[in-house]
Amino acid sequence: MFQLPAPITPAEFDALCEAPATLLKAAATIARQLRLVGELTPMPGGANFVVAVGPWNVIKLFPPFQHYQWEAESRVLKALDGVNLPVAIPQFRAAGELDGWGYVAMSRLNGNSLQSCWFGLDEHARCEVLEQIGVVMAAVHSLPTPFLPVLDPPWELFWEHQRERCLSYHQRLRALPEPLLAELPAWFKTHVPELAEWGPRVLLTGEYSPENLLLNQQAQGWALTGMYDFADAMLGPARYDWLGPICFLVQGQRARLEAWIRGYRLGEIDEPKVARKLLADLLMHRYSHPEIQLQLPDWQKSASLDALAFQLWPLA
């Protein structure tokens, strides 16, 4: 009798994704139960296993060690079902468990991933897209409390955990150049945000990054039309979500940052303070890896962490 393996390690899950016959059988079982019809096609990327079911539906499988992501994805899609946003998000179909694995069935969005289009866009188009991303982020961040699902972990516990592990984590990772790594302990004491500084909690998707945004080319140019993947969603302060577009798309370019700010309608701020806090946020991020996320020219040559912060936020 067919059964998904549980428990399972991340390495074993990766092996299953490489040879996905077992996972496709699971997806076929779920599709039959939900009466979703269509050819099953694995979709690349992401930390979980995603299968298109024909042209209209998607099933996302979560191994047991990603249980928290299954809960976040299903709760956010349920909460946002029917909410009017500037772009499309997947419509919730169903959520459940199979052999200890979680699954979420949702509608399939059409469009071109921003990741596949970005390098083909001219600078004007890039700024237009960043302004649209700002509009979408502002809309999500302004959702009233009744739309916000219950998500774990609470921000206070999450942030204290990140604070406690941050220095030792980066000292082991050694992705920062030695001079910046040596400066890190003293710099943190001054610039790591306190909980009281963060402000109100909003819905964080953690995914305003190129691989999870969709574009369509229209008569007036490229338009942001969709966003997906809420597996890393949390309730927390808005600035934590800024990191995706600022690291992966702004890339230290002043005009791009100004475009995103126009869309987001960010008010008057203390630019140097925000720059330093944003770099601290990045270094304390749950997936922090400067070599991957700091897509800035020659950032390793920065004379100090302050200099790096001002490169990340070029309006400081």
Residue 196: per-residue pLDDT: 63
Residue 45: per-residue pLDDT: 77
What is the percentage of the chain residues whose pLDDT exceeds 70?
99
Residue 22: how many CB atoms within 10 A of its CB?
15
Residue 3: per-residue pLDDT: 87
Q: For residue 21, which phi and psi values (nearest 5 degrees)? A: -55, -45
Would you say residue 6 has pLDDT above 60? yes
Give mean pLDDT, residues 113-134: 96
Q: What are the residue ranges of CATH 3.30.200.20 in the chain?
A: 10-107
- Nearest residue to 204 via CA among 236, 170, 244, 226: 236
**CATH topology (fold) of 112-312:** Aminoglycoside 3'-phosphotransferase; Chain: A, domain 2 (3.90.1200)
Query: Which amino acid does the sequence have at 70?
Result: W
Whether the Cβ atoms of residue 36 and residue 53 lie closer than 8 Å to each other? yes
- Nearest residue to 67 via CA among 25, 26, 13, 109: 13
Q: Which strands sit side by side in the sheet containing 221-227, from one edge to the other? A: 112-113, 213-218, 221-227
Would you say residue 1 has pLDDT above 70? no
Average pLDDT, the chain: 93
Residue keyed to tokens 């979703």: 36
Domain 10-107 in CATH 1.10.150.120 = no
Residues 6+ apart with CB under 8 A from 229: 46, 73, 205, 207, 212
Q: What are the residue ranges of CATH 3.90.1200.10 in the chain?
A: 112-312
Whether the Cβ atoms of residue 40 and residue 26 lie closer than 8 Å to each other? no
Indicate the pLDDT class of residue 195, thresholds 50, 70 and 90: low
Give mean pLDDT, residues 111-116: 93
Whether the Cβ atoms of residue 22 and residue 35 lie closer than 8 Å to each other? no
Give mean pLDDT, residues 291-310: 94
pTM over 0.85: yes
Query: Which amino acid does the sequence have at 109?
Result: L
pLDDT in tens, 19-39: 999 999 999 999 999 999 999
Indicate the pLDDT class of residue 270, thresholds 50, 70 and 90: very high
Whether the Cβ atoms of residue 275 and residue 313 lie closer than 8 Å to each other? yes
Calpha distance 253→282 (Å, rounded)? 18
- Nearest residue to 153 via CA among 72, 244, 60: 72
pLDDT in tens, 139-180: 999 999 888 888 988 988 998 899 889 999 999 999 999 999
